[in-house]
């Protein structure tokens, strides 16, 4: 009762059943990404994926059996919670987590599931929904380049089979930056890919990376990304903030001076410009721990002023308060600006700053 799992999924898919349809990333060259480095891309066969789906069903059936025997009358929540706590099998934990949340959603891994031949993908999605009928929502990652090559008819077939949403890493809409980062797509690809997805009736979530432009390109990154997003008009825009680790190609660019990071406060300025330029009808979501201001969230255009007011509020703080907030957020002690009103928390953050030897004017950056 095991099945294969890929390494990641978006935070919004935490409770989705992961179904690995392809392995790793067919592009695998983006300088800011380390997830699949050194791993070879591969398509899995439909039969292989079907066997995994049957394994997930076997685990679900086992839970149902345990639930009946233990007098829970087939209710799965309690059994799933207990299994989640007591197993070392990632597959069993995934099914338990999925059932605990209601068993309604599945996420097809890995980085660009859209590259799978459409006939095969249709078979997989149909089999998934037939085998696990509680699933009403199926999502996956896809690259803009691939979505731009798929016809609206092909994408419509996927939607009719049951595909609900595609998550696309747009990252930036500025061509020189996309080229520098070796993203392998252009702004035109992003626009065409996004429009194809929406025309097929599949929901679209575009991810934007704050800070990606660095000191040299931040302004164009903000302006051009907003332009591209406006043209696509996706249902969701999700924000991530660039975090550079040693195993990224981008780290070498930092070492050689080719890429100079923005400070947290400069990233907020970039974020402000980006949001100011948005005139789309989308949900803006900041659901990632890397983002300094996670309360930036709302429906555009109606909530735009309220969202920008969050940035104004941060920028109007005294330098020492901004430093305290940055430090508290980066150390996981604060979630949002209101946490600054908690004197106990603020004292704890100031103690951390004292230990770090910071002067309170500079605070933490990156
Ligand atoms: S396409 Fe996505 S998964 Fe692949 S290297 Fe780029 S960012 Fe990473």
pLDDT band, very low/low/confident/very high, at 364 (cuts 50, 70, 90): low
> Which one of 37, 38, 111 would you pick to mutate in the ligand 1 pocket, going by the greatest count of ligand atoms within 8 A of its CB?
111
Average pLDDT over residues 48-77: 86
pLDDT band, very low/low/confident/very high, at 209 (cuts 50, 70, 90): very high
Q: Give the SS3 label for residue 161.
A: helix
CA of 85 relative to ligand 1 center, distance in Å: 32
Residue 187: which residues within 8 A CB-CB, separation 6 or more?
173, 174, 175, 178, 224, 227, 228
CA of 142 relative to ligand 1 center, distance in Å: 10
Nearest protein CA to atom 2 of ligand 1, as residue = 111
What is the model's pLDDT at position 34?
A: 94
CA of 300 relative to ligand 1 center, distance in Å: 27
Q: Which of 12, 7, 337 is nearest to 205 (CA)?
A: 12
Q: Which of 62-76, 323-337, 348-362 is predicted with the least confidence, judged by mean pLDDT? A: 348-362
Contact 25 CB / ligand 1 (< 6 Å): yes
Contact 28 CB / ligand 1 (< 6 Å): yes
- DSSP assigned state of 27: S
Residue 62: which residues within 8 A CB-CB, separation 6 or more?
1
pLDDT of residue 176 exceeding 80, the answer is: yes
CA of 29 relative to ligand 1 center, distance in Å: 7
Average pLDDT over residues 129-157: 98
pLDDT of residue 361 exceeding 60, the answer is: no
CA-CA-CA-CA torsion sign (200, 205, 210, 214): negative
Average pLDDT over residues 144-151: 98
Average pLDDT across the chain, whole number: 93
CA of 65 relative to ligand 1 center, distance in Å: 41
Nearest protein CA to atom 6 of ligand 1, as residue = 30
Contact 111 CB / ligand 1 (< 6 Å): yes
pLDDT of residue 366 exceeding 50, the answer is: no
pLDDT band, very low/low/confident/very high, at 147 (cuts 50, 70, 90): very high
Q: For 19-46, write each residue's pLDDT tens digit.
A: 999 999 999 999 999 999 999 999 999 9
What is the model's pLDDT at position 74?
A: 64
Q: Which of 64-78, 125-139, 216-230, 234-248 is predicted with the least confidence, judged by mean pLDDT? A: 64-78
CB atoms closer than 10 angstroms to residue 158: 26
pLDDT of residue 59 exceeding 60, the answer is: yes
Q: For 242-262, write each residue's pLDDT tens digit.
A: 999 999 999 999 999 999 999
């Amino acid at each position: 009762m095991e099945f294969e799992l890929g390494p990641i999924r978006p935070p919004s898919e935490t409770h989705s059943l992961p179904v690995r349809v392809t392995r790793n990333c067919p592009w695998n060259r983006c300088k800011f990404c380390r997830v699949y480095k050194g791993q070879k891309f591969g398509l899995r066969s439909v039969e292989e994926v079907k066997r995994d789906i049957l394994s997930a069903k076997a685990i679900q059936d086992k839970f149902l059996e345990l639930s009946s025997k233990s007098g829970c009358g087939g209710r799965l929540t309690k059994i799933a919670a207990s299994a989640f706590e007591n197993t070392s099998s990632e597959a069993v934990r995934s099914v338990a987590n999925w059932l605990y949340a209601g068993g309604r959603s599945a996420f097809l891994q890995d980085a660009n599931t859209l590259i799978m031949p459409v006939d095969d993908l249709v078979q997989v999605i149909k089999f998934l929904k037939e085998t696990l009928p509680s699933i009403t929502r199926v999502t996956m990652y896809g690259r803009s380049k691939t979505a731009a090559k798929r016809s609206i008819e092909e994408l419509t077939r996927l939607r009719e089979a049951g595909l609900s949403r595609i998550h696309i890493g747009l990252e930036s809409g500025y061509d020189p930056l996309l080229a520098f980062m070796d993203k392998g797509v252009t702004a035109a690809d992003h626009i065409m890919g996004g429009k194809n997805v929406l025309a097929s009736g599949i929901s679209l979530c575009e991810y934007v990376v704050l800070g990606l432009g660095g000191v040299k390109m931040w302004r164009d990154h903000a302006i051009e990304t907003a332009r591209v997003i406006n043209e696509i008009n996706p249902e969701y825009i999700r924000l991530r903030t660039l975090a550079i680790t040693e195993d990224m190609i981008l780290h070498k660019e930092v070492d050689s001076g080719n890429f100079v990071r923005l400070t947290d406060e400069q990233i907020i300025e970039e974020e402000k410009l980006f949001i100011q330029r948005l005139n789309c009808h989308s949900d803006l979501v900041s659901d990632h721990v890397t983002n300094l201001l996670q309360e930036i969230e709302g429906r555009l255009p109606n909530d735009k002023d309220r969202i920008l007011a969050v940035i104004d509020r941060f920028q109007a703080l005294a330098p020492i308060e901004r430093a305290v907030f940055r430090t508290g957020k980066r150390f996981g002690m604060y979630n949002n600006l209101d946490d600054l009103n908690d004197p106990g928390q603020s004292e704890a953050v100031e103690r951390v700053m004292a230990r770090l030897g910071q002067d309170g004017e500079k605070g933490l950056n990156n």
